[in-house]
């Protein structure tokens, strides 16, 4: 387990300093405001807890709708940027690993967006995230995850890498370790001065059915699964899912 006193994980100052430069939309292109409206509805007048709240890109717009929002965040560098934003100082944030850190009180909604469940690189760790989320939920409360579908169908036989983005200013390459459900995402980004910056990060990709089993281990049951924030049906060709599990009342 990472010691939050000494380690910001993958999201140290080098990442935090430019994190808010990425485009606003959610994974499927939905605006943050529209996603916050869905989260507001799911919170149903209760409190919401964001795991890996980061710089508050989602938590602050949700709080602006009148929802009492708390967070758990491992990176002090990311948290410093949340605190510097209007309204950021008012959010209660626990510094720690989302698989084990506890926030005060219970919540009607816990949520984890932007594929962040895959930042936890072991199956046991991902199960621990579900159990921690369930421990924070009141009866009838729900846990929401937004996550892409692993893009293995684009991986040619015998190959390990897929180019997922190629533009004038960015090249993205996913490198798969299929036997271990491992993924390293490589990013080459063109800077304003013409130089190219390189960054990468490890992930453990996970399928919706596996997440359902993790939810069951945590005492949760699937309530809804959509192919996007607009609640479109989840289908075989869906590129991502927004899944909601509930804690039985």
Q: Average pLDDT for residues 183-187, to the nearest whole number?
A: 94
Find out whether 82 and 54 touch, Cβ atoms under 8 Å: yes
Q: Is the pLDDT of residue 28 over 80?
A: yes
What would the mean pLDDT of 162-177 be, rounded to a whole number?
Answer: 92
Q: Where are the domains of the chain?
A: 13-149+207-246, 152-201
Q: When comparing pLDDT for 91 and 20, which is higher?
A: 91
Q: Token match 């897929």: residue?
A: 162
% of the chain with per-residue pLDDT over 90: 81
Whether residue 16 has pLDDT greater than 70 = no
Q: Note whether 123 and 94 are within 8 A (CB).
A: no
Average pLDDT over the chain reads 92
Rounded average pLDDT over 81-107: 97
Domain 13-149+207-246 bears CATH identifier 3.40.50.150 = yes
Q: Rounded CA gap, 201 and 174, in Å?
A: 10
Q: What is the pTM of this model?
A: 0.91
Q: Would you state the pLDDT for residue 6?
A: 47
- Give yes or no for residue 245 having a pLDDT over 70: yes
Secondary structure in 3-state letters for the chain: CCCCCCCCCCCCHHHHCCHHHCCCCCCCCCCHHHHHHHHHHHHCCCCEEEECCCCCCCHHHHHHCCCCEEEEECCHHHHHHHHHCCCHHHCEEEECCCCCCCCCCCEEEEEECCCHHHHCCCHHHHHHHHHHHHHHEEEEEEEEEEEECCCHHHCCCCCCEEEEEECCCEEEEEEEEHHHCEEEEEEEEECCCCCEEEEEEEEECCCHHHHHHHHHHCCCEEEEEECCCCCCECCCCCCEEEEEEECCC
- Whole-angstrom CA distances from 81 to 27, 85, 112 are 22, 7, 19
């Amino acid at each position: 387990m990472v010691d939050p006193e000494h380690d910001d994980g993958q999201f140290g100052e080098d990442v935090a300093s430019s994190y808010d430069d990425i485009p606003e939309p959610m994974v499927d292109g939905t605006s943050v405001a529209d996603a916050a409206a869905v989260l507001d509805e799911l919170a149903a007048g209760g409190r919401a807890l964001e795991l890996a709240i980061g710089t508050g890109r989602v938590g602050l717009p949700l709080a602006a709708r009148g929802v009492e929002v708390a967070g758990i965040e491992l990176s002090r560098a990311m948290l410093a940027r949340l605190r510097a934003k209007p309204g950021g100082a008012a959010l209660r944030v626990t510094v720690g690993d989302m698989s084990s850190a506890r926030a005060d009180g219970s919540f009607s909604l816990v949520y984890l967006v932007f594929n962040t469940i895959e930042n936890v690189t072991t199956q046991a760790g991902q199960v621990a995230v579900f159990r921690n989320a369930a421990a924070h939920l009141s009866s009838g409360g729900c846990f929401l995850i937004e996550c892409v579908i692993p893009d293995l169908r684009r991986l040619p036989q015998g190959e390990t890498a897929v180019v997922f983005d190629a533009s004038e200013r960015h090249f993205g390459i996913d490198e798969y370790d299929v036997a271990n459900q491992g993924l390293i995402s490589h990013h080459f980004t063109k800077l304003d001065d013409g130089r190219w910056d390189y960054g990468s990060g490890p992930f453990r990709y996970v399928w919706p059915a596996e997440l359902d089993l993790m939810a069951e281990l945590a005492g949760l049951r699937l309530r809804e699964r959509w192919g996007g924030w607009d609640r479109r049906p989840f289908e075989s060709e869906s590129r991502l899912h927004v899944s909601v599990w509930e804690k039985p009342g």
